[in-house]
Amino acid sequence: MGGHRGAESPLETILLLGPRLALGAVAAADAVAGRAGAEMGRLRRAALRRLVAAVVDQLDLDDLVSRVDVNRVADRVDVNRVADRVDVERVARRVDVDAMVDRADPVALTRQVLDEIDVGRIVRDTGGGLTGEALDAVRLRSARADRLVDAFTDRLLRRNGTVPSSRPQPPDRPPR
């Protein structure tokens, strides 16, 4: 038959005929094996394993995977179940705190603190002079700014609040 070499085994002959015909042949063999007893069952399982392996070897997995709708798969994922399996302590040990501190922008933090204090408004409200109430307001806002900076630093350094802080306590307001 020209340059075509014949199949060397019955399984190769079946595979040359195509996967559907091969599966049909296995189904027919299954029917026969059911009647022929345990030996035929063993032969059937061995033939089926070889057939499935041969079919899988012929699959183009890249093509198969390219047909998968990843968004549809992601919609079926139970995120809470995945999160329950995450070892948070292990993840935390991998965090590079030094890199986080290096990325912190002290200029932006300073601007945020100064915006919170709003010294210009305090000066305008007091008419240029620092009365006792204006001084208390500056102290109170300064204490708030200190707490804001401490909270940011604690978050950045992953402190849980059990470490004593060096932050000053806000001054007690005098009774009016």
- State pLDDT tens for residues 86-108: 998 998 888 888 888 778 887 88
Contact indicator for 162, 106 with CB cutoff of 8 Å: no
Strand ranges (DSSP E) for the chain? none
Q: What's the mean pLDDT in 16-35?
A: 66
115 contacts: CB under 8 Å, gap ≥ 6? none
Q: Residue 3 — pLDDT band, cuts 50, 70, 90? A: very low
Is pLDDT at 169 greater than 60 in this prediction? no
Spatial separation of the C-alpha atoms in residues 118 and 141, rounded to whole Å: 9
Prediction pTM value: 0.26
pLDDT in tens, 54-79: 888 888 888 888 888 989 988 999 98
Other C-beta atoms within 10 Å of 24: how many?
A: 13
pLDDT for 1 = 43
Contact indicator for 96, 103 with CB cutoff of 8 Å: no
Residue found under tokens 């709003």: 118
